[in-house]
Structure 1
Amino acid sequence: MAERIPMVDYLVLDDGEPHLVAHECTACGARFFDRRNACANCFATDFRTVPVATEGTVRTFTIVTFAAPGVPVPFVASVIDCDGTQVRANLVNVEPDPEHAHDGMKVRLSTYSLGADAEGTEAIGFGFEPVA
């Protein structure tokens, strides 16, 4: 089987079900996806890695109709509330229009292939899709 690598460090593929992980401040509980030397909320310096819920609710979104060359449009960029953790991600497997994408929509984490290199190593991306 070819190797699969996540497009971002906080996407975990090898622990059973794919999920996201965040760095949580041990002092105040603020969560961040990028590496931090100090918490932007309280300035503490200790963090632990915690799993992020794989289901959530769309808090806001926009339908992107203009993008850099080579980026297919339209697509839906959104902010998802995953049990208190805010995740910026595209909505996938949904028509990019206000009749299908809306605030309050229930969604779940979804992964997909971004392509493979000559050795067969596959890059994996993530988004959120509507809960059926």
Structure 2
Amino acid sequence: MPNSIGHRMPQQIPIVDYLVLSEPPHLEAHACTGCDALYFDRRNACAHCGGTEFTRKPLSNEGRVRAYTIVHRAAPSVPAPYTSVVVDLDDGGVVKANLLDVTGPEHIEPGMPVRLGTYVAGVDDDGVEAVAFGYRRQEDAA
């Protein structure tokens, strides 16, 4: 699809099915209709209440770092060090992801506010971009 100056925009696909590439991008979870427990993967039954009906629920793009670790060793194709975080989302839900653009512990603390960010993780032979997500410090995401 061409943009306003006539260039073709690359096709993008999310790297996980719970990342929604709308404007703005966001995560969606399966919410149990019985108890509102949240799951990123498809479920036949809720692990909390045993319910079998689910709806899709958009999740907040903002949250706070619950815990983190800085990873110094990774597969050869993965740049290290990188920071892995567990984020408590503002409107409920917990997600594990990477903290983008931060690898020094002096820039990270539990409770730190973060905001969802996306980036192109790779491109296939047809030029289709695989889009991944992580979190940025809110002061860096503005």
Which category of TM-score, normalised to the shorter sequence, fits these structures?
A: over 0.9
Q: Structure 2 residue aligned with 1:8, among 2, 6, 16? A: 16
State the one-letter code of the partner of 1:90: N
**Cα distance in 1 between the residues matched to 2:104 and 2:52:** 42
1:61 maps to which residue?
68
Are residues 1:103 and 2:110 paired?
A: yes
Flag the structure with higher strand content: 1
State the one-letter code of the partner of 1:9: D
Contiguous gaps of at least 5 residues in structure 2: 1-8
Could you list the structure 1 runs, at least 4 aligned residues long, displaced by more than 2 angstroms after superposition. none
Query: By how many angstroms is 1:106 displaced?
Result: 0.5
State the one-letter code of the partner of 2:46: C
**Cα distance in 2 between the residues matched to 1:35 and 1:88:** 17
State the SS of the aligned residue for 2:52: coil
Query: By how many angstroms is 1:116 displaced?
Result: 1.2
Q: TM-score, normalised by structure 1?
A: 0.94
Flag the structure with higher helix content: 2
Q: How many residues align?
A: 130
State the SS of the aligned residue for 1:57: strand
Measured against aligned partners, the alpha-carbon deviations of 1:53-108 in whole angstroms (never above 9, x if no partner) come to: 001000011111112232111111111011221011100022x1220111111000
Compare CA radii of gyration and give the structure with the larger one: 2
Contiguous gaps of at least 5 residues in structure 1: none
